[in-house]
Amino acid sequence: MVFLLGCAAITVLTTAGIVVVLGAESVHFFRASGESPVDFVFGTKLEPEAVPPRFGILPLIWGTLMIALGSSVIALPVGLLSAIYLSEYAPRGVRSVLKPTLELLAGIPTIVYGYLALLLVTPALKAVLEPLGFQVETFNALSACVVVGIMIIPMVSSLSEDVLSAVPRGLREAGYGLGATKFEVSTRIVLPAGLSGVVSSFILAISRAIGETMAVVLAAGSRPQLTLNPLTSVETMTAYIVAVTGGEAAAGSPEYLSLFAVGMALFLITLGLNVISGFILRRYRESYQ
């Protein structure tokens, strides 16, 4: 009993550990660098190696947002359509093939997607866009958007499908009884009934895209800049953290400590999205007897 309680306590201690580590080291960072939290979040210059160093992470937040939005544009519609297909249209046999395939896709390590971006997506983008007169860099945000988007499709589709399948049959049959077509039943009855679950799966997927590391590090590169051009390199928060650990920064230096502050920002953003997603799922769930 004490052992079991201890096990449960470890999970709580993990959260406490994350908060304490990130919090304490972030405070160290702000003391050591003299950066104010406002300048940290809204500063547009990220030059940790300059003298004096500047730590404005707005370019990182911008890069992260760009990848998250770009990948959502791909993943959310495709994921939702495939959820509707699996729950409303698919015959049993097809479904029993497609569902495990999607699960298999969800289990592929992100490093594989990163490699794929370098091997396939970026060369493909170059082949298509460069004849049209666009300059495509080897590391670019668009390539990262594509692979991260592909990566989070299974997440959107499997979470949304769970909610859509849980909508009671009676609602669908009432719709058919009134003469609605399959399309109308799917989009005007089933989808609104499962909307809370669909929205919460969207938010979870965006949060996952924000926290994604390896695919982005390999595909998008590491140039912190505020740009609207998706064909150039950007740096995300996760890529910055990896770059600092892999770099020469001495433990305890402001540059080294900045990785904790960026980690804190990342943790708060993803935690916020996850909490909102859970709240939407609970608060707006339609419950059926």
Partner 1 sequence: MTPPTVYEPERWSRRALGPIFGLACLVATSSGVVVLSILLGAVVAAVVKGSPGGSAFAMLRHLMSSFQSVDPELAGFKAGLAGSLWLLGLVTVFAIPVGVGAAVFLEEYAPPGRLRRIVQLNIANLAGVPSIVYGILGLALFVRAFGMKRMALGPTLWAGGLTLGLLILPVIVIATQEALRTVPGSLRQAAMALGASRWQVVRDHVLPSAMPGILTGVILALSRAIGETAPLLMVGAAGAILRLPRGPSSRYTALPVEIYNYAKEPDPRFQGVAAGGILLLLALLLTMNATAIVIRNRYARSSRG
- Residues between 1 and 30 with contacts to partner 1, criterion CB under 8 A: 1, 3-8, 10-12, 14-15, 17-18, 21-22, 24-25
Please name the amino acid found at residue 250. Answer: A
* 55 three-class SS: strand
By CB under 8 A, is residue 143 in contact with partner 1?
A: no
Nearest distance, CB of residue 235 and partner 1, angstroms:
14
By CB under 8 A, is residue 214 in contact with partner 1?
A: yes
Which one of 119, 127, 128, 174 is in contact with partner 1 (CB under 8 A)?
119
Nearest distance, CB of residue 263 and partner 1, angstroms:
4
Which one of 73, 108, 128, 178 is in contact with partner 1 (CB under 8 A)?
108
Nearest distance, CB of residue 29 and partner 1, angstroms:
12
Euclidean distance between CA atoms 287 and 289, whole angstroms? 7
Which one of 213, 225, 229, 253 is in contact with partner 1 (CB under 8 A)?
213
Report the site for partner 1 in 193-212 (rule: CB under 8 A).
204, 207-208, 210-212
- Burial (CB count within 10 angstroms: exposed 0-12, middle 13-18, buried 19+), residue 259: buried
Report the site for partner 1 in 52-81 (rule: CB under 8 A).
77-79, 81
By CB under 8 A, is residue 162 in contact with partner 1?
A: no
Which one of 34, 36, 37, 104 is in contact with partner 1 (CB under 8 A)?
104
**Options 55-63, 87-95, 169-177, 190-198: segment touching partner 1 (CB under 8 A):** 87-95
Nearest distance, CB of residue 203 and partner 1, angstroms:
10
By CB under 8 A, is residue 250 in contact with partner 1?
A: no
| Dihedral sign from CA coordinates of 195, 201, 207, 213 | negative
In sequence order, what are the residues at sequence separation of 6 or more whose Cβ sits closer than 8 angstroms to the Cβ of residue 136? Answer: 122, 125, 126, 129, 130, 231
Name the H helices within the chain.
2-33, 37-42, 58-84, 92-106, 110-116, 122-129, 141-166, 169-177, 182-185, 191-193, 195-211, 214-220, 237-246, 254-283
Nearest distance, CB of residue 133 and partner 1, angstroms:
26
Distance of CA 160 to CAs 141, 145, 187, 238, 273, Å? Answer: 27, 21, 14, 27, 17
| Dihedral sign from CA coordinates of 198, 200, 206, 209 | negative
**Options 33-41, 52-60, 88-96, 126-134: segment touching partner 1 (CB under 8 A):** 88-96
Euclidean distance between CA atoms 197 and 284, whole angstroms? 9
**Options 39-47, 127-135, 224-232, 239-247: segment touching partner 1 (CB under 8 A):** 239-247
**Options 48-56, 169-177, 225-233, 251-259: segment touching partner 1 (CB under 8 A):** 251-259
Binding mask 163-192 for partner 1 (x = CB under 8 A): ------------------xxxx-xx-----
In sequence order, what are the residues at sequence separation of 6 or more whose Cβ sits closer than 8 angstroms to the Cβ of residue 22? Answer: 260, 263, 264, 267
Euclidean distance between CA atoms 258 and 142, whole angstroms? 27
Euclidean distance between CA atoms 169 and 189, whole angstroms? 11
By CB under 8 A, is residue 150 in contact with partner 1?
A: yes
